[in-house]
């Protein structure tokens, strides 16, 4: 059943459409809508013909959402769940659970164009990135290791440059709001005939809704592109991020109901979050070069070399962890393109990716936020590499076929520095794994394309799972794997003002990696049976009144996304408890996201978005649930005309207008039933943006 907001939106849309059709416009509308293009599968292609479930958030879609966090923008994509238990503490899953991620991003591969943000140990510091510096996000849903290596969740590709804005400009913006929010950003882009330089700088601070939730981040991003000969291009990317945030910790239900703004409270045996000054600091340096070279009209090569360094510290309730991580590697592929013919257009890609991450991990006692007695120190060196090949063909410009496979290798070496003072590393190698993918898309008519695919997912344990907070290196932990089967369709109209994308999939995962908590609240990971994941996703966008310059309504767009997740444990037995058949912990069954964007004369615009999330199981036994919730947010903006090349915007926004009490990120299977991390109640922000 559709939500009331959705029904109202449809009714409003129908009424306005009928009214608009009865009017005669005095002039021809010259506003042009560009088709959605993705680059994730190594080369540009229109999304209508892509034989995979992909979603794209372009610059316009990102800018209409709050630019203080990835959460709102990513959660508009069906099948994607992004959580923020405290400001700056992201969790991200695609068509899956968050059982492996008490915090951070695991089992999802993230790239900056051709440079991996995900390290060899499987961790991605997405929270180090400022979304305001990102121009486009592509999300490839479902296991896709044929081109991107071991993963069973999916792939996210971040683009620092906007292909539709290749001019020279200077921009700046500032916004502030409830609970001490302040976000400043500035950018400069220089463009010549063959050269483009883009620099983004930002600072963000937020005191937070709850106790012990202060956060701040300094961010600098450089993206450089030099077309040095014909189509040949050399690109450079550099990132510096200094992030620090406090973590309030979970509350039990009584505490959550009494005062949700509290930080985790002390107990007779353990201090609380404030007493221990718990939080996380992450300082990251990332850099890389990418060269695209065309030998001729049929052969090109893309080569990326990259490296990053991360300093990480986490004073927690029971210990104080420090990590120093160094990653380096390269990714390259050759593409051979055949002669274009009316009945056949084909290409072959052959590539290789190699990564090494060296981690120095030390744990100490935590004496009120100060390092105390050394507990243990380990060195872990993680290596992953894979070779991939892909064949893609368009037959009669109707049938698009792709066949791809990768051979994946993964292993790690470890030794204990303290207290054992080991001299030699112990090696743990996983057997090489094939990850095939076969997909096709058939354009039945110009407006309708049907697709189907089958692919294998394979995800090795991350460094944080091999060496979790119990400080024991777990060499028995195995990789999880499974097969994903999927079909769907896309329906559009001729002027790109309407697109409906729907899919259904079944993912049978084996050897599922799940997190377990010890009595002292340290964690460890086990392989626990598997999961059966049956899901349905749908997204719709419709310019009911297409962008124009003459009507009172200068544009009316309606968006809807729907996610249905029928996820169940299978053969999941822990000691005397059998969780088989229970719902997958942390996954809501239904999520609806509906929005309306209305443009008025004088560059006045209104955006309203409603999100419904059904109840969420909080433990594997499915005995405790977080209640369903509805979120309503709105944004109004005004862009007065100053000059042809000068743009100025002022805006005001409100979040959680219904004043819902909810938890945007729960602690799953929490000790002491401390599941809840309260999100802010009704809150407001306002700001301005300038571009010249």
Q: Does the pLDDT value for residue 32 go beyond 70?
A: no
pLDDT digits (tens, 9 = 90+) for 339-385: 988 899 999 999 999 999 999 999 999 999 999 999 999 999 999 99
Question: In the beta sheet, which residues pair with residue 102?
Answer: none
The pLDDT of residue 608? 98
Please tell me what DSSP assigns to residue 6.
H
- Give the predicted TM-score (pTM) of the model: 0.92
Average pLDDT value for residue range 55-62 = 92
Alpha-carbon distances, residue 169 vs 101, 179, 186, 193, 609 (angstroms): 40, 33, 11, 15, 31
Which of 107-116, 244-253, 557-566 shows the lowest mean pLDDT across its residues? 107-116
Query: For 205-214, 391-400, 466-475, which range has the lowest pLDDT when averaged over its residues?
Result: 466-475
pLDDT of residue 31: 60
Which is it for the CA torsion 72, 73, 78, 83, positive or negative? negative
Q: Above 80 in pLDDT, residue 520?
A: no
Which of the two residues, 24 and 663, has the higher pLDDT score? Answer: 663
For 161, the token pair is 């440059």
Q: Give per-residue pLDDT as tens, 489-499.
A: 999 998 889 99
pLDDT of residue 138 exceeding 70, the answer is: yes
pLDDT of residue 427: 95
Residue 41 has pLDDT above 90, yes or no: no
Tell me, what's the pLDDT at 321? Answer: 95
pLDDT for the residue numbered 492: 94
38-46: Cβ within 8 A, 24+ apart: 38/138, 39/138, 39/157, 39/159, 40/138, 40/140, 40/155, 40/157, 41/140, 41/147, 41/390, 41/392, 41/402, 42/147, 42/302, 42/333, 42/335, 42/349, 42/390, 43/335, 43/347
pLDDT at 43: 81
| Residue-level pLDDT at 385 | 96
Range 467-490 average pLDDT: 92
Do 240 and 284 meet the contact criterion of CB atoms below 8 Å apart?
yes
Beta partners for residue 312, in sequence order: 282, 323
Can you name the residues that pair with 149 across neighbouring β-strands? none
Strands 232-246 and 279-294: antiparallel
pLDDT reported for residue 164: 63
Instruction: Identify whether the C-beta of residue 572 lies closer than 8 Å to the C-beta of residue 554.
Output: no
Give the per-residue pLDDT at 27.
44
- b/e 324-339 (16+ beta carbons within 10 angstroms → b): ebbbbbbbbbbbebee
- Taking 50 as the threshold, does the pLDDT of residue 666 lie above it? yes
Predicted local distance difference test score (pLDDT) of residue 243: 97
Contact 534, 527 (CB under 8 A): no
Lowest-pLDDT choice from 204-213, 260-269, 360-369, 520-529? 520-529
Contact yes or no for 462/361 (Cβ under 8 A): no
- For residue 146, the SS3 value is helix
For residue 185, what are the CA distances in angstroms to 49, 236, 502, 507, 691? 37, 21, 37, 41, 12
Range in 159-173, 246-260, 323-337 with the lowest mean pLDDT: 159-173
Q: What is the pLDDT of residues 620-650, one digit of tens each?
A: 999 999 999 999 999 999 998 787 778 899 9
Give CA–CA dist 150/107, Å, rounded: 8
When pLDDT is averaged across residues 449-478 and rounded to a whole number, the result is 91
Contacting residues for 298 by C-beta, under 8 A, at least 6 apart:
336, 337, 338, 339
Range with the lowest mean pLDDT among 148-152, 351-355, 424-428, 433-437? 148-152
pLDDT-derived band at 11, boundaries 50, 70, 90: very low
Q: How far apart are CA 443 and CA 399, in angstroms?
A: 6
Q: Which range, 22-31, 417-426, 509-518, 523-532, is most confident?
A: 417-426
**Residues whose CB is less than 8 angstroms from the CB of residue 324 and which lie 6 or more positions away in sequence, other chains included:** 309, 310, 311, 312, 359, 360
Instruction: Please give the mean pLDDT across all residues of the chain.
Output: 91
In this prediction, residue 205 carries a pLDDT of 97
Q: Is the pLDDT of residue 23 over 50?
A: no
For the chain, percent of residues with pLDDT exceeding 70 = 95
Residue 26 pLDDT exceeds 80: no
What digits encode the pLDDT tens for the residues 505-518? Answer: 999 999 988 888 78
pLDDT at 641: 79
pLDDT for the residue numbered 534: 97
Phi, psi of 178 (to 5 degrees): -60, 155
Q: Which residue has the higher pLDDT, 4 or 56?
A: 56
34 pLDDT above the threshold of 80: no
262-285 residue pLDDT tens: 999 999 989 999 999 999 999 999
What would the pLDDT profile of 310-319 be if each residue is shown by its tens digit? 999 999 998 9
Ramachandran quadrant class, 277 (left: phi over 0; alpha: psi -120 to 50; beta: rest): left
Q: Which pLDDT does position 273 carry in this prediction?
A: 95
pLDDT in the model for residue 29: 52
Give the Å distances, CA to CA, from 112 to 83, 355, 429. 21, 15, 28
Mean pLDDT (whole number) for 39-59 = 88
pLDDT of residue 552: 93
């Amino acid at each position: 059943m559709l939500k009331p907001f959705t029904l109202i939106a449809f009714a409003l849309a129908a009424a306005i459409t009928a009214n608009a059709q009865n009017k005669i416009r005095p002039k021809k509308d010259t506003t042009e809508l560009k088709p959605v293009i993705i680059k994730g599968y190594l080369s540009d292609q229109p999304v209508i013909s892509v034989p995979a479930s992909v979603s794209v958030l372009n610059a316009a879609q990102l800018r209409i959402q709050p630019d203080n966090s990835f959460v709102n923008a990513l959660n508009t994509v069906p099948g994607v769940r992004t959580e923020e238990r405290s400001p700056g503490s992201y969790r991200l899953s695609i068509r899956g659970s968050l059982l492996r991620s008490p915090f951070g991003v695991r089992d999802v591969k993230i790239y900056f164009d051709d440079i991996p943000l995900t390290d060899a140990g499987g961790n991605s510091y997405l929270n180090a990135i400022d979304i305001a510096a990102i121009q486009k996000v592509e999300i490839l849903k479902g296991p896709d290791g044929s081109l991107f290596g071991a993963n069973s969740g999916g792939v996210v590709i971040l683009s620092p440059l906007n292909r539709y804005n290749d001019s020279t400009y200077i921009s700046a913006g500032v916004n502030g709001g409830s609970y001490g929010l302040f976000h400043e950003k500035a950018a400069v882009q220089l463009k010549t005939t063959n050269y483009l330089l883009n620099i983004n700088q930002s600072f963000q601070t937020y005191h937070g809704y709850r106790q012990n939730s202060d956060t701040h981040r300094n961010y600098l991003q450089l993206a450089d592109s030099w077309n040095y000969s014909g189509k040949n291009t050399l690109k450079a990317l550099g990132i510096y991020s200094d992030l620090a945030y406090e973590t309030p910790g979970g509350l039990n239900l009584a505490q959550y109901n009494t005062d949700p703004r509290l930080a985790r409270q002390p107990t007779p045996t353990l201090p609380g979050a404030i007493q221990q000054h718990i939080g996380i600091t992450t300082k990251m340096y990332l850099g890389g070069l990418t060269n695209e070279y065309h030998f001729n009209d049929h052969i090109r090569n893309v080569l990326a070399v990259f490296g990053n360094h991360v300093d990480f510290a986490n004073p927690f309730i029971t210990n104080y962890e420090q990590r120093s991580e160094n990653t380096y590697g390269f990714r390259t592929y050759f593409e051979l393109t055949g002669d274009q013919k009316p009945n056949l257009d084909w290409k072959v890609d052959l590539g290789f990716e190699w990564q090494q991450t060296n981690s120095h991990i030390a744990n100490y006692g935590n004496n009120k936020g100060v390092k105390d007695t050394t507990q243990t120190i380990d060195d872990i060196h993680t290596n992953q590499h894979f070779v991939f090949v892909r064949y893609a063909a368009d037959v009669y410009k109707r049938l698009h076929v792709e066949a791809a496979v990768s051979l994946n290798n993964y292993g790690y070496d470890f030794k204990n520095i303290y207290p054992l003072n080991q001299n030699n590393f112990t090696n743990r190698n996983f057997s090489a794994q094939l990850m095939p993918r076969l997909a096709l898309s058939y354009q039945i008519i110009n407006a309708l394309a049907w697709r189907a695919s089958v692919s294998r997912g394979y995800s090795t344990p991350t460094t944080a799972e091999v060496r979790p907070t119990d400080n024991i290196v777990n060499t028995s932990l195995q990789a999880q794997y499974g097969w994903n089967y999927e079909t769907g369709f896309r329906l559009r109209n001729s002027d790109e003002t309407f697109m409906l994308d729907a899919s259904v999939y079944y993912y049978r995962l084996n050897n599922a990696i799940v997190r377990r908590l010890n009595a002292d609240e340290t964690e460890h990971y086990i392989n626990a049976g598997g999961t059966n994941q049956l899901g349905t996703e749908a997204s719709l966008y419709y310019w009911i009144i297409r962008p124009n310059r003459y009507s009172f309504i200068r544009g009316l767009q309606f968006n809807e996304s729907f996610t249905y997740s029928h996820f169940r444990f299978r053969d999941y037995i822990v000691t005397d408890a059998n969780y088989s058949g229970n719902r997958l912990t942390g996954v809501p069954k239904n999520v609806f996201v509906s929005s309306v964007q209305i443009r008025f004369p004088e560059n006045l615009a209104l955006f309203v978005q409603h999100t419904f999330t059904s109840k969420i199981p909080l433990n594997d036994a499915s005995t405790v649930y977080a209640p369903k919730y509805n979120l309503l947010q709105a944004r109004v903006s005004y862009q007065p005309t100053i000059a042809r090349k000068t743009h100025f915007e002022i805006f005001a926004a409100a979040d959680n207008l219904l004043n819902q009490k909810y938890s945007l990120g729960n602690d799953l299977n929490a000790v002491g039933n401390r599941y809840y991390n309260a999100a802010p109640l009704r809150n407001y922000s306002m700001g301005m943006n300038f571009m010249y």
